[in-house]
Structure 1
């Protein structure tokens, strides 16, 4: 093996990240959900009914820190873009020399010129995404205007890898159905993440050494 090629391989081995098989499990990240604790119940005052005040119009809807809301994932996006352009330009000039005198030596074709220019361009792009399912989240904060910050995640450990769905955002109490469900399209500042680890996800990615040479390749 030439020395220069061996040096490149050595550098790749030193600088390359940890192989995917060494980090199959999903490590906790900055999104990690800290489970909020519900507020402490009020002290007993001798009354038979110790529940807090709940407006009759609210029913059993979530409205306090620690309450559970089920978010129905109905995300679907589609985008298409197409453009086309075409130009064409032609020009010509011709002179007829006199039949007498020194210029009569020139033929009409000797003093004629012409030119043309043409361009055609076209581009198309399309992309679509879809995500469906349900994730139950907890109320992490209640704001004075009635909106609530919700956070939650679902971790599935399968025999071929791990799947994690994370979601956070702000919801309005009026958008919550009586059975404490809300569409993901009603979540403001929604942060939805769907990630997976395992041999299935790893098989659809390039190897770490192949990615390294793809970065430094000038072609």
Structure 2
């Protein structure tokens, strides 16, 4: 009876674990709604009033700056990300100590045996330690992505966000970016380098058969986690 109950509990726990792994909730931070483009607000229809010189709908913008400045405007972000980091350390310590106790004397004379002093003692210790460590990391990301302005802050800065998907054979690759840019940093070609994007969040990843083949299985991740007893 006890063995049957134990087997039932183990089977139930295994089924629950598999169901939890199969139905992992999507993180709201990585949901598609967080990266969707923003459309400009609908403009109200003004009543056309014919004038002797100016007529609505027939104006010419001779000096209009075409750079992004309103919600819904598009802007191109040039991805120029490159970082290099390295660190090394070395430590060496040493310590030597010794204690000696002289021979015991009895009635003013040392205690000897066969001419050699007895009851002498000494203690000595030696400690050495050395350690070395090094770490290095580098990454690089180049390209471009065109995004939309999602909000205009009080100080005039623009909050932008957007994504770009590329489907190749059985896999999909996407680039997502969002952050805050200054209008002063926007170039004449309506572009801004990514290193001038404040509070930037850049994601470059993929989905599909190729991405799944490069991912570790849930059982392997379990043995690599802190919960593994091995």
Q: Say yes or no: does 1:103 pair with 2:114.
A: no
Structure 2 unmatched runs, 5+: none
Structure 1 range deviating more: 81-90 or 155-164? 155-164
Please give the root-mean-square deviation of Cα atoms over the aligned residues, in Å: 3.4
Structure ID, larger Rg: 2
**Partner deviation per Cα, 1:94-142 (whole Å, 9 max, x = no partner):** 3442686353357479422211001111111111121111110111122
Q: Say yes or no: does 1:203 pair with 2:213.
A: yes
Q: Say yes or no: does 1:14 pair with 2:44.
A: no
Number of matched residues?
A: 212
Q: TM-score, normalised by structure 2?
A: 0.76
Q: TM-score, normalised by structure 1?
A: 0.79
Q: How does 1:15-94 map to 2 (within 5 A)?
A: 15-16=17-18, 17-18=21-22, 28-40=31-43, 43=46, 44-46=48-50, 47-48=54-55, 50=57, 56=63, 59-94=65-100
The answer to whether the Cα contact below 8 Å between 1:80 and 1:127 also exists between their aligned partners in 2 is: yes
The answer to whether the Cα contact below 8 Å between 2:104 and 2:118 also exists between their aligned partners in 1 is: no
- Where relative contact order (Cα < 8 A, 6+ residues apart) is larger, the structure is 1
Structure 1 range deviating more: 132-141 or 202-211? 202-211
Structure 1 unmatched runs, 5+: none
